[in-house]
Structure 1
Amino acid sequence: MHLCLTDMEDPRKRAVIRLMLTATAAQHDTVLHDFQAFVRTVGPDTEERV
């Protein structure tokens, strides 16, 4: 899966995050749900730093 993030201050700048699941065919059904749950948590850090 590819996740494209646009810089809020300069929309010309972008970052692309590539997330991959590597598993055997036998493991696929067991790990797919966890991978999907993980993907839903990925996003930009919006917390302001001081």
Structure 2
Amino acid sequence: MGIDEEIKKLDTSNQGLKVILENLDEQLSDIRSDPRLEGLVDDLENLFYA
């Protein structure tokens, strides 16, 4: 039963990560619009998609 619980935890974690990645562009839009932070968004996107 312990393995089943761990699999459920991993599934829940994976679902959370999918939501984050699906909304990443929206979440980074404010940063992208700030010229002082140019290049930071690219680095963050590379980090999330690695």
Please, what TM-score do these two structures have when normalized by structure 2? Answer: 0.35
Question: Counting strand residues as a fraction of each chain, which structure ranks higher?
Answer: 1
Please, what TM-score do these two structures have when normalized by structure 1? Answer: 0.35
Question: Counting helix residues as a fraction of each chain, which structure ranks higher?
Answer: 2
